[in-house]
């Protein structure tokens, strides 16, 4: 897997735990959703862990665990399945401040969408990363100077800019 | 003869009657072109697979059709300037085969562009403030509106500022660009629905509440396709300041819960149908209540900025009726027929709304040659403040013509083969491109439309028949809106043969209804016969003032079925 952050391919500091693997004492690791409740119960307040969730997850199912989570990875079963974008928005609305990761076969052209909805990082398979190199991801990040929506992250809002122009 | 001299006809400087890009709009569209150019390069280099490229080319209006690529250009809310129309003509000449096809959703399609040329075409469009953004793909599509917007006497408010507001909001939306399926929004501000809002994913109707405040009735879950549905009211009165937030709530509910397991069940109409409108309304209201609406707080200012662009042109103060017009009608019967059929009432005294039919007898519905586009551009400058509209019936509208100028306009149109006096009549057929172009089609549509049109080539007979919507689709995706045709025709394929299913009683307006099936399918050759029998039966049965659909509603579907069965027994071979 390759990880993209701020338009660069970076080393992944996180490790995805297999379900049969015991919870480690140290390090950054990601558990599956069914193990989350147990992990929250047994891990101490200093443990650094995250969860990977299907894009159909109800945000309410995570609310209790949110303050404990340092990372939430949302699985994209197909790159054109946009449910993860709305889920990311809802998790940000629920005040999740940790790393939000999109995991799946997302293509570089979706990068601005992901950033806009609150994702920090994108995790893609190696074969995809080979075809779509860092340059393409960075270009996608800079493809648009502004956006027409307001309240979405990343680019500046055209609506805000117009408002400023009227009032100055 | 009181003919107006074309050489001295007024040619006002085209005033601004539609939205103009500011620096942000211009930058956005040109960035979009640059991005697409790079996407094409990456497709050619293999960085993007065809599967990956597909949603991005679709979101820029580029389809892979039966024989070639097809580029669908947006004409937001159907409004065009003369300059834009000329550019469409130039593109048709330079990169296509000298013509374009106006569609049922206020778009223009080029049927023969090359993939490598499309970035240049998009750049040429951007130069005149046009684009092909979101004319396809599983995103919010080109927002359409009443083609008589701003000039219809029955209007509460011009719907185009709302449509432009939504065009911008929906452009490259971070969250809603990978929806379960396409999402179409239409807006009307009038008492009569000319935008078919009840068969859109979201239909918006401008309404006034008891205190005179303007808001929107919001309808969701209408649509045609293989499972037609009439939209249902999800918000009775949504104040303007809440519109974007309310729509965002609907889109979020749809994006999360719309079906993705079967593309034929993925439209919001299916979600509404399966969950029921009450459950959907509750979900939308809950989402709306949970949203941070501060992000929308200042949108009224932006709305006012946009609305200012749609100011009325500098109309002259004129008498309500024109003596010139009356005299010219007496002098020239063909002109009189044109006026009676294609010219509608305007809200300003002395002016008229002119429908230019793109349905010549035996022609391809919605097609216009580059030469015709230039004539239309010229006509709009001479006689209509340089503004044109495209209707969902695939015709062109000149929305502000002085009644005094109608004869000169008609003469000009007639010389260009654009004066067919059939707006709303049986030969004003809506048709999809069908098997002649489309890779989805199961049967031909255009030749069927041509055959019906020729069958009714006697214009006086057409006028006697009166208003009659014939709509033809070449497959169950229903791009030709057959479900809402008073006579609907659906082309299917049965055992390698084209078979046409006829429906009766469809209606796309506020009294919307889905057509009912008449009987077993018929062959392509039989379609004009069947239509003719139905029309003759209607003529025999109709009461004073009844249109086809009125008679059908009054006497019932069974009687129409019976008559065809009897005709069959009489050896009429249907």
Average pLDDT over residues B282-287: 98
B274 min Cα distance to partner chain A (Å): 18
Residue B574: is its pLDDT beyond 50?
no
Distance between CA atoms of residues A54 and A75, nearest Å = 5
pLDDT value of residue B15: 62
Burial zone of A6 (CB within 10 Å; 0-12 exposed, 13-18 middle, 19+ buried):
exposed
pLDDT value of residue B193: 96
Look at B298 and A163 and tell me if their CB atoms are within 8 Å. Answer: yes
Look at A87 and B172 and tell me if their CB atoms are within 8 Å. Answer: no
- Does residue B62 sit in helix, strand or coil? strand
B567 pLDDT tier (thresholds 50, 70, 90): low
What residue spans define the domains of chain A? 2-167
- B70 touches B437 (CB < 8 A): yes
Average pLDDT over residues A25-39: 95
Bridge partners (DSSP) of residue A29 are: A15, A49
By CA distance, what is B35's nearest residue in A? A143
Look at B176 and A109 and tell me if their CB atoms are within 8 Å. Answer: no
Could you give the strand order of the β-sheet that contains B516-517, starting from the edge strand earlier in sequence?
B430-431, B470-473, B487-494, B497-504, B516-517
C-beta atoms surrounding B370 within 10 Å: 20
Bridge partners (DSSP) of residue A146 are: A156
Tell me the chain A residues in contact with residue B255 when contact means C-beta distances shorter than 8 Å.
Answer: 82-83, 85-86
Residue ranges of alpha helices (H) inside B384-438 are 406-415
pLDDT tens figures, B327-366: 999 999 999 999 999 999 999 999 999 999 999 999 999 9
pLDDT tens figures, B180-192: 999 999 999 999 9
Eight-state DSSP code of residue B11: -
Sign of the CA dihedral B513, B519, B524, B530? Answer: negative
- Minimal Cβ distance to A85: which of B138, B175, B295: B175
- For B478-512, give the DSSP string: -TT-GGGSSEEEEEEEETTEEEEEEEE--B-STT-
- By C-alpha distance, which of B367, B336, B341 is closest to B355? B341
Distance between CA atoms of residues B152 and B156, nearest Å = 9
- By C-alpha distance, which of A59, A41, A57 is closest to A49? A41
Q: Which residue has the tokens 């949302």?
A: A74
pLDDT value of residue B44: 93
pLDDT value of residue B454: 97
Residue B437: is its pLDDT beyond 90?
no
Eight-state DSSP code of residue B100: E
pLDDT value of residue B12: 46
Q: Tell me which residues of chain A have a C-beta less than 8 Å from any C-beta of chain B.
A: 79-83, 85-87, 89, 93, 107, 109-110, 112-113, 115-117, 131-132, 136, 139, 143-152, 154, 158-159, 161-163, 166
pLDDT value of residue B298: 61
pLDDT value of residue B292: 85
Residue A103: is its pLDDT beyond 90?
yes
Residue B295: is its pLDDT beyond 80?
no
B247 pLDDT tier (thresholds 50, 70, 90): very high
Look at A152 and B174 and tell me if their CB atoms are within 8 Å. Answer: yes
Q: How far apart are the first and last CA of chain B?
A: 50
Cα distances from A56 to residues A52, A86, A125, in angstroms, run 12, 10, 21
Q: Any idea which fold A2-167 has?
A: Rossmann fold (3.40.50)
A164 pLDDT tier (thresholds 50, 70, 90): confident
- By C-alpha distance, which of A105, A150, A81 is closest to B257? A81
- By C-alpha distance, which of B458, B375, B462, B362 is closest to B411? B375
Residue B545: is its pLDDT beyond 60?
yes
Residue B4: is its pLDDT beyond 90?
no
pLDDT value of residue A55: 98
pLDDT value of residue B566: 64
B568 pLDDT tier (thresholds 50, 70, 90): low
Extract the runs of DSSP E, i.e. beta strands, from chain A: 2-5, 8-10, 14-16, 28-32, 49-53, 71-76, 99-104, 121-124, 146-147, 156-157
The pair of structure tokens assigned to B537 is: 């039966």
The percentage of chain B sitting over the pLDDT mark of 70, rounded to a whole number, equals 95
Bridge partners (DSSP) of residue A2 are: A124
pLDDT tens figures, B457-496: 999 999 999 999 999 999 999 999 999 999 999 999 998 9
Residue ranges of alpha helices (H) inside B96-141 are 118-127
A40 min Cα distance to partner chain B (Å): 27
pLDDT value of residue B311: 93
Cα distances from A14 to residues A30, A55, A103, B90, B358, in angstroms, run 7, 20, 13, 56, 62
- B377 touches B396 (CB < 8 A): no
- B106 touches B126 (CB < 8 A): no
The percentage of chain B sitting over the pLDDT mark of 90, rounded to a whole number, equals 89
What chain B holds in terms of domains, given with CATH numbers, is 6-15+315-415 (3.30.70), 23-127 (3.90.480.20), 144-309 (3.30.413.10), 430-572 (3.30.413.10)
- Minimal Cβ distance to B31: which of A79, A136, A143: A143
Distance between CA atoms of residues A17 and A20, nearest Å = 8
The pair of structure tokens assigned to B538 is: 């209607």
Look at A83 and B174 and tell me if their CB atoms are within 8 Å. Answer: no
- In A62-92, which positions are buried (b, 16+ CB within 10 angstroms) versus exposed (e)? beebeebbebbbbbbeebbbbbbbbbbbbbb
pLDDT tens figures, B137-168: 999 999 999 999 999 999 999 999 999 999 99
A168 pLDDT tier (thresholds 50, 70, 90): low
Average pLDDT, chain B: 93
Residue B6: is its pLDDT beyond 60?
no
Cα distances from A51 to residues A56, A76, A135, B566, in angstroms, run 14, 14, 29, 70
Average pLDDT, chain A: 95
Cα distances from B242 to residues B249, B253, B366, in angstroms, run 10, 17, 37
Residues with Cβ within 8 Å of residue B485, at least 6 apart in sequence = B430, B469, B470, B471, B472, B503, B506, B515
- B448 touches B418 (CB < 8 A): no
B9 pLDDT tier (thresholds 50, 70, 90): very low
- By C-alpha distance, which of B412, B384, B380 is closest to B400? B384
Look at A107 and B52 and tell me if their CB atoms are within 8 Å. Answer: yes
Distance between CA atoms of residues A98 and A114, nearest Å = 15
Look at A152 and B56 and tell me if their CB atoms are within 8 Å. Answer: no
Residue ranges of alpha helices (H) inside B59-117 are 82-95
Tell me the chain B residues in contact with residue A161 when contact means C-beta distances shorter than 8 Å.
Answer: 24
Q: Which residue has the tokens 């800019």?
A: A161
Look at B175 and A116 and tell me if their CB atoms are within 8 Å. Answer: yes
Look at A82 and B31 and tell me if their CB atoms are within 8 Å. Answer: no
**Complex ipTM value:** 0.97
Average pLDDT over residues B251-274: 97
By CA distance, what is B255's nearest residue in A? A83
pLDDT tens figures, B64-98: 877 789 999 999 999 999 999 999 999 999 999 99
Look at B292 and A89 and tell me if their CB atoms are within 8 Å. Answer: no
- Minimal Cβ distance to A82: which of B38, B177, B290: B177
pLDDT value of residue B296: 75
């Amino acid at each position: 897997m390759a990880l993209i952050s701020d338009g660069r391919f970076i080393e992944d500091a996180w490790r995805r735990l297999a379900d049969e693997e015991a919870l480690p004492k140290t390090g950054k690791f990601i558990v599956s959703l069914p193990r989350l409740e147990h992990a929250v119960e047994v891990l101490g307040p200093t443990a650094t862990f995250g969860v990977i969730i299907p894009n159909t997850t109800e945000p309410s199912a995570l609310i209790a665990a949110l303050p404990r989570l340092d990372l939430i990875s949302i699985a994209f079963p197909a790159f054109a399945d946009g449910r993860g974008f709305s889920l990311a928005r809802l998790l940000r609305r629920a005040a999740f401040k940790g790393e939000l990761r999109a995991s799946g076969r997302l293509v570089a052209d979706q990068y601005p969408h992901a950033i806009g909805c609150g994702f920090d990082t994108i995790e893609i398979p190696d074969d995809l990363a080979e075809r779509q190199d860092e340059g393409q991801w960075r270009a996608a990040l800079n493809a648009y100077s502004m956006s027409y929506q307001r309240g979405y992250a990343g680019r500046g809002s055209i609506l805000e800019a117009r408002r400023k122009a009227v009032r100055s | 003869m009181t003919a107006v001299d074309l050489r001295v006809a007024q040619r006002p400087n085209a005033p601004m009657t539609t939205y103009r890009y500011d620096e942000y709009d211009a930058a956005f569209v040109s960035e979009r072109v640059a991005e697409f150019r790079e996407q094409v390069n990456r497709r050619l280099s293999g960085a993007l697979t065809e599967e990956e490229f597909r949603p991005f080319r679709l979101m820029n209006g580029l389809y892979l059709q039966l024989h070639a690529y097809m580029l669908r250009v947006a004409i937001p809310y159907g409004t065009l300037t003369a300059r834009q129309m000329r550019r469409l003509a130039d593109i048709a000449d330079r990169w296509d085969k000298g013509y374009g096809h106006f569609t049922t959703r206020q778009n223009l399609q080029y049927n023969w562009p090359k993939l490598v040329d499309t970035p240049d075409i998009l750049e040429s469009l951007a130069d005149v403030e046009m684009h092909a953004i979101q004319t396809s793909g599983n995103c919010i599509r080109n927002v359409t509106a009443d083609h008589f917007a701003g000039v219809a006497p029955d209007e509460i408010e011009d719907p185009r500022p709302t449509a432009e507001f939504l065009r911008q909001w929906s452009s490259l939306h971070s969250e809603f660009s990978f929806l379960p399926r396409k999402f179409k929004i239409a807006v009307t501000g009038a008492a009569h629905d000319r935008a078919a809002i009840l068969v859109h994913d979201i239909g918006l109707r401008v309404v006034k509440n008891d205190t005179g405040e303007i808001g929107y009735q919001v309808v969701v879950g209408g649509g045609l396709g293989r499972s037609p549905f009439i939209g249902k009211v999800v918000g009775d009165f949504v104040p303007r300041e809440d519109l974007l937030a309310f729509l965002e709530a609907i889109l979020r509910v749809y994006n999360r819960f719309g079906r993705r397991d079967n593309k034929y069940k993925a439209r919001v109409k299916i979600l509404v149908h399966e969950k029921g409108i009450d459950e959907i309304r509750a979900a939308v209201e809950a989402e709306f209540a949970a949203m941070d609406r501060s992000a929308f707080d200042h949108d009224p200012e932006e709305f006012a900025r946009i609305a200012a662009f749609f100011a009325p042109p500098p109309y002259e103060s004129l008498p309500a009726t024109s003596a010139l017009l009356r005299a010219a009608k007496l002098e020239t019967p063909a002109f009189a027929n044109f006026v009676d059929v294609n010219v509608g009432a305007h809200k300003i005294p002395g002016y008229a709304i002119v429908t230019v039919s793109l349905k010549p007898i035996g022609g391809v519905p919605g097609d216009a040659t580059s030469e015709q586009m230039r004539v239309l551009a010229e006509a709009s400058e001479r006689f209509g403040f340089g503004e044109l509209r495209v209707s969902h019936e695939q015709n062109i509208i000149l929305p502000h013509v002085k009644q005094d100028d109608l004869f000169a306009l008609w003469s000009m149109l007639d010389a260009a083969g654009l004066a067919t006096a059939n707006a709303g009549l049986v030969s004003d057929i809506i048709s999809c491109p069908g098997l002649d172009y489309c890779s989805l089609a199961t049967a031909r549509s255009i030749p069927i439309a041509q055959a019906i049109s020729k069958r009714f080539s006697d214009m006086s007979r057409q006028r006697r028949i009166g208003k009659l919507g014939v709509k033809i689709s070449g497959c169950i995706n229903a791009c030709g809106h057959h479900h809402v045709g008073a006579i609907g025709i659906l082309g299917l394929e049965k055992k390698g043969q084209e078979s046409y299913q006829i429906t009766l009683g469809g209606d796309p307006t506020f009294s919307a209804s889905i057509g009912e099936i008449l009987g077993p399918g018929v062959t392509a050759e039989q379609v004009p016969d069947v239509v003719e029998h139905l029309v003759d039966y209607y003529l025999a049965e109709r009461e004073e003032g009844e249109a086809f659909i009125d008679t059908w509603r009054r006497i019932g579907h069974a009687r129409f079925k019976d008559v065809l069965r009897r005709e069959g027994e009489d050896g009429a071979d249907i």
